[in-house]
Structure 1
Amino acid sequence: MDKPRQRRSAGPRSFDRDQAIETAMRLFRRYGYQGVSISDLTSAIGIAPPSLYAAFGSKAGLYREALDLYAGLPGALDGMEGAVTLEQALKGLLDAAIRAVTAEERGCMISTGLVEAADEQQELAHELGKRRRALRDRIANALSRWLDRSEAEGLALYLSAVQQGMSVQARDGATAEELSRIADETVAGIIARRIPSASQSCLPPA
């Protein structure tokens, strides 16, 4: 009973928490973790620092919740849904990635987030590394419909590198059309190395 009263007197939480996380996500996505200050966050959300700390614990806590929100948005893996061939899956993956990284806040919050970090940010950087590995695993799982596990994992690693590169290029101003040419060359090269088996339809499970 006493604790809520103390929080309210320090700074009432008169804001929409979900909206606050979305606002923070947009800022972090556009400027990166290090490029967004507590002042930037409180100004954009419209609250005082005590209210931010009461709601999220810290800037890092808000960043984690923003990452969770971002991870739930439509992304590259959604482009693989419904694919019948490996080529369709690859094209769907990269086309969806391009749509994601050329949105209003360019780049990918997970692919390029905290690739370089100060000592005090190493825990967050480690968490982002785990998120990137989890995404690679999900891509490998999807590719396993057409490839054996080791080949799927190797290709997922390669595709993740391509996606990270496209995210950086998008931040530097590359257009969707320019990135599409990269995607087309990537898919063509992969398929050329795997013909004829790669173009075969995925058979339904027995």
Structure 2
Amino acid sequence: MKVEEASPAMGRPRTFDEEEALEKALRVFWEKGYEGASLSDLTTAMGINRPSLYAAFGNKEELFQKALARYDATYMRFVGEALAEPTARATAERFLAGCANLQTNRGDPRGCLGLNGALACGTAADPIRKVMVARRAEGLAAFRRRFARAKAEGELPADASPGDLARYVQTVSQGMAVQAASGATRADLHRVVELAMKAWPG
């Protein structure tokens, strides 16, 4: 959506594309993290001034949450596709493979926004840390429900723990994000996925 940029200068306000600006903010947060991304970094990347940022997106915290929602809707679509797979094993494998691809995608920041963005935050950014904790908990619950259904249907053995399996795939994905940010290649991470799936029950 095109919006007018607030300006103290006389004349016709300059317009900017809100979605494009949000995408640029997302990439700054993805690369530098929530606290590492200054307002100057954000406005420079977005090509707007601070009044325009506040008018269109709210404060920095609100901007981050909007960027996170965009990240989920665009870059993380494979998660819903993974949860819709016909078997629990296929769900886990597709999710982990999708993470490996996203975390090493050429042209994008390495790792994932969820970890790069706000894994460690100071007191001032505690609300963002809580948002990210809640987001990870929601993801964990979604996989736990999927694996519980698989167990009820007899796909998983009786001694399998849906909660432990959900935490397992989440932990592997988070570890891969750290590895990707440290320089691991896509091939490296896909080998990790193969090893992780060898431990899958049944």
C-alpha contact 1:10 1:50 (8 A) present in aligned 2: no
2:14 and 2:61 mapped to 1: Cα distance? Answer: 19
Instruction: Give, in angstroms, the shift of residue 82 of structure 1.
Output: 5.5
Instruction: Give, in angstroms, the shift of residue 189 of structure 1.
Output: 1.0
C-alpha contact 2:6 2:51 (8 A) present in aligned 1: no
Structure-to-structure mapping, 1:184-203, within 5 angstroms: 184-190=194-200, 194-195=201-202
TM-score in terms of structure 2 length = 0.83
Q: Which residue in the other structure is 1:92 paired with?
A: 94
2:176 aligned with 1:175: no
2:48 and 2:85 mapped to 1: Cα distance? Answer: 45
C-alpha contact 1:77 1:139 (8 A) present in aligned 2: no
Q: Which residue in the other structure is 1:115 paired with?
A: 119
Distance 1:99 1:9, change over 3 A: closer
Q: Which residue in the other structure is 1:134 paired with?
A: 138
Distance 1:129 1:13, change over 3 A: farther
Pick which of 85-94 and 66-75 moved more. 85-94
Structure-to-structure mapping, 1:45-64, within 5 angstroms: 45-64=46-65
Q: Which residue in the other structure is 2:43 paired with?
A: 42
TM-score in terms of structure 1 length = 0.81
Query: Amino acid of the residue matched to residue 60 of structure 2?
Result: K
1:125-177 CA distance string (max 9 Å, x none): 10111011111111222223312598212211121111110001111110111
Q: Where does the alignment leave 5 or more consecutive residues of structure 1 unmatched?
A: 1-6, 196-206
Q: Where does the alignment leave 5 or more consecutive residues of structure 2 unmatched?
A: none
Q: Which residue in the other structure is 1:144 paired with?
A: 148
2:176 aligned with 1:166: yes
Q: Which residue in the other structure is 1:83 paired with?
A: 85
- Identical positions, percent: 32
Secondary structure of the residue aligned to 1:15 is strand
Q: Which residue in the other structure is 1:26 paired with?
A: 27
C-alpha contact 1:111 1:132 (8 A) present in aligned 2: no
Instruction: Give, in angstroms, the shift of residue 180 of structure 1.
Output: 0.9
Pick which of 126-135 and 69-78 moved more. 69-78
Q: Provide the aligned C-alpha RMSD in A.
A: 2.3
Instruction: Give, in angstroms, the shift of residue 79 of structure 1.
Output: 4.8
